[in-house]
Amino acid sequence: MSTGWQEVQAEVLRRIQNREWPPGGLIPGEVALAREFGCARATVNRALQALADDGWLERRRRAGTRVALSPLRRAQMSVAVLRKEVEALGKTYGHRLLMRKVAGSLLCLQTLHEADGTPYGIEDREIDLTHIPAAGSADFTILSANEWLVQNAPFDHGNMSYMSEGATAFDARHLECEEATPLLVLYRETFSEAGRITRVRLAHAPGHVVRLQI
């Protein structure tokens, strides 16, 4: 057994997956494992730490390290830059600013996103100009608001929701589908310390799929 923490991690993971160490079971302490693997305790610690971060182990001082009861697997989803999403499909991205108006401190935008010239999604967005004043003078016909904000308005936290909705008349007109066609719709809000930066509703074209690896 060589002495890298990644190798220790791999071996421990193997034992978990092979049920040599069953879910809920206590595994040997760090010193014992270090002895077994012929490495320093810090190396074992690094490996177990990483496995705990990934949800395979649950560690508590004095209580020891247990194999997680339900090794919850997680999928990661990034906050999409639609241009990259489209280009990843091998298609040409385009977008058109359909509407821009200011209502009080809110900048309201409607943008149609296209892939190879066909509608990809229709976006309805509000940006708070008190928090992002630069947005008032940005030219969203060049860089879409979606991409401009990712680059220029770093956020603290936010939330996303996916829902299934029937196409509204507005959706149907721009996505070139029948009204009430089932659409995958994304809502997203992002916040800085000061408050909400932007809120967006993005209705994807019919048949759109959100894929995740787990």
Partner DNA sequence: AATTATTTGTGCGTATGTATC
Partner DNA sequence: GGATACATACGCACAAATAAT
Query: Which residues here bind a copy of itself, judged by CB under 8 A?
Result: 17, 19, 23, 53, 70-79, 81, 150-151, 154-166, 180, 182-185, 188, 190, 204, 206-214
Which of 6, 105, 141, 152 is close enough to bind DNA by CB under 7 A? 6
Alpha-carbon span 83 to 116, nearest angstrom? 11
Residues 18-37 that bind DNA (CB under 7 A): 29-31
Q: Does 56 bind DNA (CB under 7 A)?
A: no
Q: Does 60 bind DNA (CB under 7 A)?
A: yes
Judged by CB, which is closer to DNA: 2, or 164?
Answer: 2
Judged by CB, which is closer to a copy of itself: 103, or 213?
Answer: 213
Alpha-carbon span 205 to 176, nearest angstrom? 9
In angstroms, how far is the first alpha carbon of the chain from the final one? Answer: 29
| Residue carrying structure tokens 């060049």 | 142
Q: Is 96 helix (H, G, I), strand (E, B) or coil?
A: strand
Judged by CB, which is closer to DNA: 52, or 112?
Answer: 52
Q: Does 46 bind DNA (CB under 7 A)?
A: yes
Which of 13, 15, 49, 199 is close enough to bind DNA by CB under 7 A? 49
Which of 10, 17, 23, 40 is close enough to bind DNA by CB under 7 A? 40
Residue 68 CB, shortest distance to DNA, in Å, is: 13
Residue 190 CB, shortest distance to a copy of itself, in Å, is: 7
Closest by CA position to 169, among listed 160, 161, 180, 159: 180
The answer to whether residues 101 and 84 touch, using CB atoms and an 8 Å cutoff, is no
Alpha-carbon span 166 to 184, nearest angstrom? 9
Q: What is the CA radius of gyration of the chain?
A: 24
The answer to whether residues 37 and 3 touch, using CB atoms and an 8 Å cutoff, is yes
Residue 124 CB, shortest distance to a copy of itself, in Å, is: 17
